[in-house]
Amino acid sequence: MRLDKYLKVSRLIKRRTVANEACDTGRVMINDKPAKASTNVKEGDIITISFGNKEVKVEVLNVQETVKKDEASELYRYI
């Protein structure tokens, strides 16, 4: 699954366009490497997102195309 779509489905970022912009500006990294929005996400990847002076680091546990709002947090684990 594309990185921008995963960020939206997992609700780490609310909208796909915002996720796309975050990737384009270099604020999203996968396994400590800058990632484009089209980068493929797989289980076990470590995603780091920079929000201003705050940094969020998560491990991908599951990749699903659609998920209910209350189950979205089961797709990742905070590190």
- In this prediction, the residues of the chain whose per-residue pLDDT falls under 70 are none
**How many domains, the chain?**
1
Q: How many CB atoms lie within 10 A of CB 30?
A: 20
Per-residue pLDDT at 21: 95
Enter the pTM of the model: 0.91
Assess contact for 41 and 3: CB atoms under 8 A.
yes
d(CA 78, CA 74): 11
Q: Structural domain of residue 56, as residue ranges?
A: 3-78
Per-residue pLDDT at 77: 94
What is the β-pairing status of strands 28-30 and 33-34? antiparallel
Per-residue pLDDT at 59: 96
The CATH number of residue 58's host domain is: 3.10.290.10
Per-residue pLDDT at 6: 95
